[in-house]
Amino acid sequence: MSAPGADPLGANPLAADTAMMRVAIEAAGAADPRDVPVGAVVFDADGRELARAANAREALGDPTAHAEVLALRRAAEVHGDGWRLENATLAVTLEPCTMCAGALVLARVGRLVFGAWEPKTGAVGSLWDVVRDRRLNHRPEVRGGVLEPECAALLDAFFRAQR
């Protein structure tokens, strides 16, 4: 047991989720001004940050450059255990799409924490539920709606400025 406050991502999983989401929000802030501000961060089992990324679809001209995919790639590079990210947590400011939900299942991510719901394209409960499909042999633990107002506000500000 660590002393209270010694480990910001410590024993209380709900507090840890909130702390991780704050990092994802920070990551979203690094998005190119042309890109929808979505941020993702991967943490190892001890709560250490492995990698973070912002959506860079416009910046990279890459349809697959969603924040989650970029963060998973970077995390696997630094993790030193091949491509598997078992016991890792991915925190992302927006409910993942089908591509990203598929990628995090393939990466064997242990836990997914997301912020805002995405009713139009969400694949973690809104439109599909890819990560909890019983036909798949790996199903991450999921918690959605963490710091939802802050995560949604990022997107609202972006789309308001686009008009």
- The residues annotated with a catalytic role in the active site are 68
- The token pair that represents 71 in the structure block: 């963060």
Question: CA 129 to CA 117: how far, in whole Å?
Answer: 12
Of 89 and 96, the one with the shorter C-beta distance to Zn ion is 96
Of 50 and 67, the one with the shorter C-beta distance to Zn ion is 67
Of 9 and 67, the one with the shorter C-beta distance to Zn ion is 67
For residue 4, which amino acid is it?
Answer: P
Interacting positions 117-136 with Zn ion (CB under 5 A): none
- The token pair that represents 39 in the structure block: 């941020």
x-marked contacts with Zn ion along 59-78 as a string, rule CB under 5 A: -------x------------
Q: Which helix (H) or strand (E) holds 116?
A: strand 111-116
The least distance separating Zn ion from the CB of residue 92, rounded to whole angstroms, comes to 9
Using the rule CB under 5 A, is 97 a contact of Zn ion?
Answer: yes
CB-based contacts of 96, cutoff 8 Å, min separation 6:
66, 68, 104, 112, 114, 122, 123, 124, 131
x-marked contacts with Zn ion along 12-51 as a string, rule CB under 5 A: ----------------------------------------
Query: Which one of the spans 53-61, 78-86, 97-105, 152-160 is the region binding Zn ion (CB under 5 A)?
Result: 97-105
- Which residues would be at the binding site for Zn ion (CB under 5 A)? 66, 97, 99-100
